[in-house]
């Protein structure tokens, strides 16, 4: 749940995660943050599974 006052509208957000496998968690986070008014500009992960043509949206 995103609290209304926690984010400034259109504030740039970079998601940080330890590992990305299918990308499902990051996609859901992007959806929730954008519904709350954030501007998700990217994601940073420390490790990833081999993926091709990955898109957060």
pTM of the model: 0.68
Q: Is the pLDDT of residue 6 over 70?
A: no
Q: What pLDDT, on a 0 to 100 scale, did the predictor assign at position 16? A: 93
Q: What pLDDT, on a 0 to 100 scale, did the predictor assign at position 38? A: 86
d(CA 9, CA 5): 9
d(CA 36, CA 47): 27
Please write the tens of the pLDDT for every residue from 13-41. 999 999 988 889 999 999 998 888 889 99
- N-term to C-term CA, the chain: 20
d(CA 33, CA 24): 14
| SS3 state of residue 32 | helix
């Amino acid at each position: 749940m995103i609290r209304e006052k926690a984010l400034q509208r259109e504030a740039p957000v970079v998601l940080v995660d330890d590992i990305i496998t299918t990308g499902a968690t990051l996609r859901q986070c992007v959806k929730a943050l954008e519904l709350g008014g954030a501007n998700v500009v990217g994601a940073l992960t420390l490790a990833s599974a081999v993926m091709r043509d990955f898109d957060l949206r």
